[in-house]
Amino acid sequence: MSRGTHAVFNQSTPFVDINLFTANRALADALRFNHAGFDAARFAKLGAEMGSAEMQRHARLANAFAPQLRSHDRYGHRVDQVEFHPSYHALLAAALRHRLHGAPWSAAAGAHVERAAAFMLFTECEPSVLCPVSMSYAVTPALRANAAIYAEWAAGLASDRYDQRFLPFQEKTGLTMGMGMTEKQGGSDVRANTSRADFDGEDAWGRRYRITGHKWFFSAPMCDAFLVLAQTPAGLSCLFLPRILPDGTVNALAIQRLKHKVGNHANASSEVEFDAACAWLVGDEGRGVPQILAMGALTRLDCALGTAGLMRHALSLALHHTGQRQAFGRRLAEQPMMKNVLADLALESEAATALALRLARAVDRSENGQDASGHEARLRRLLTPIAKFWICKRGSHFAQEAMECLGGNGYVEEQGEGVMARIYREMPLNSIWEGAGNIMALDLLRALRAPEMAGALEHEVAPARHAHAVLDRSLAATLRAIDGLTEEAQARRLARDLALLLQAALLRQHASDAVFDAFCASRFEAAADVFGLLPAGTDVDAIITRANPAQMV
């Protein structure tokens, strides 16, 4: 009951029951550009569901009630189970129902692009439950190297019926998989792995080993199986390690504890030990790193997609709030400097969406036999480190600025209701895991050593040639820089410059002229160190109108 002390006014309303797809013009245009035949009805349905009050409630609860480890039962037996809030399971079931995991591998051309856009939309609802979903999507190309296991697991990994039960894989309606590379002494440099795999015979799944050792980061330990790196006499090898063995025995994997993380609270990230755990070889002995990187390359795609989704969510919240909140006699969204900030954020968000979805198309085309010239495969190799590096690097900076648009309310979480704070805590993760920024930039240098890479970049940027003088100058300078570049210390600069060129070229093709012009004017001419530095004369109104969910619903 009100005590009559004051009325509450000039607070914005919750951003809820918004169709996140129909409200996102940038995503729709990028999706159409990369896959003209996309299923619009599927996206309208997904967008409504992801923006619904019910799904937002699940997202809040799954984060507020973080997973708990049950290491032992009350009699002292090891249990090694993680218990989740029912909302976590509801979200995961929705992710599988919307085919965000292994489904695209057995679908028609375009399925990877649709899945990528759907992944972005889901991220706007809740990103951290997508960790096992992403790994289950990414595992297929690596797992195919063991045809016997793949034959038995592929259907479960592509099933849209999530099954949370801890049962042997044959008894489940849907399966998920994770990955174990990082150990205490090294994550980027996995060659430092000490976990040992001892040969144990052969069976229907091929060469069987016993793994003894540990993993320092082992996310989603309730997945049904993992690809794990361990040392064999031939060197680091990739092995398939199920949590429950085909005969129903629980594998010798002990969950030591769950990490207490800055964000990503709905997802369980554990430390584990293997005590002669049973695993089967995937690919060639001693070739574990390239084998598991076939998986890592796709989770890197998801880092870029996820960050683009988080950016879009943060932008929507900023536009929504500033469109309602008044200060100094008018709405914040009408204040000239706030307009500059909002428009600049909108440019960044659309550029991230464009680059991430273009990478998804490169994956799709190169997987679906639509790449006779090999251009898409080359682009996929180049864009993976570029997009992962640059989009994820911009993410935290973006979240801070979007949070500031909400003032003090942006910094307040209030038992998970303050979604901006959750976004802010989640953002740095995509930049760190699956290869931190420097590792991505170094990987770009490696990728550029292959033949025809500079030509692939030139071809990709060609549609924007002569559209903006500054872009032409930057392209010429960057191509010169690539030629003969070996200096590691300059790799980040190169990754940034290439990302900006590719983003500009994409914006030219499927964003508005106002977006393209402002992007070129602001990203190439001056160091974009702070948002809100768009030069005088920028058509900020046109950019904001295009980005604003209020225009679309």
Ligand X SMILES: Cc1cc2nc3c(=O)[nH]c(=O)nc-3n(C[C@H](O)[C@H](O)[C@H](O)COP(=O)(O)OP(=O)(O)OC[C@H]3O[C@@H](n4cnc5c(N)ncnc54)[C@H](O)[C@@H]3O)c2cc1C
- The footprint of ligand X (CB under 6 A) covers 178-182, 186-189, 217-219, 261, 264, 269, 429, 432-439
Contact present, 430 and 263 (Cβ < 8 Å):
no
Q: How far is the CB of 27 from ligand X (least distance, A)?
A: 26
Cα angle vertex 212, ends 211, 217, to 5°? 90
Q: Which is nearer to ligand X, 189 or 529 (CB)?
A: 189
Cβ distance to ligand X smaller for residue 291 or 353: 291
- Tokens representing residue 348 in the block: 């960044």
CB-wise, 132 or 410, nearer to ligand X?
Answer: 132
Smallest distance from ligand X to CB 213, Å:
13
User: Among residues 32 and 257, whose Cβ is nearest to ligand X?
Assistant: 257
User: Given the complex with ligand X, which of 223 and 544 has the nearer CB atom?
Assistant: 223
How crowded is residue 402: how many other Cβ atoms within 10 Å of its Cβ? 30
**SS3 category, 142:** helix
- Min. distance of Cβ 437 from ligand X in angstroms? 6
Rg (CA), the chain: 24
Nearest residue (CB) to ligand X, 258 versus 506: 258
218 versus 398: smaller Cβ distance to ligand X? 218
Rounded to the nearest whole angstrom, what is the least distance from the CB of residue 80 to ligand X in the complex? 16
Cβ neighbourhood burial of 268 (10 Å; 0-12, 13-18, 19+) = buried
| Closest approach of ligand X to the CB of residue 231, in Å | 15
540 residue type, one letter:
V
Other CB atoms within 10 A of residue 25 CB: 18
Picking from 321, 323, 307, the residue whose alpha carbon sits closest to that of residue 398 is 307
Nearer to ligand X, 192 or 476 (CB): 192
Angle (deg, nearest 10), helices 375-405 and 288-322? 40
Longest dimension (CA), the chain: 78
Least Å distance between CB 219 and ligand X? 3
State the Cα–Cα distance between residues 392 and 498, nearest whole angstrom: 15
- Give the residue closest to ligand X by C-beta: 187
We find the least distance from the C-beta atom of residue 296 to ligand X, in angstroms, to be 9
Q: In the complex, what is the shortest distance from the CB of residue 290 to ligand X, in angstroms, rounded to a whole number?
A: 16
Contact predicate 401/319, CB 8 Å: no
Residue with the two structure tokens 């049904």 = 224
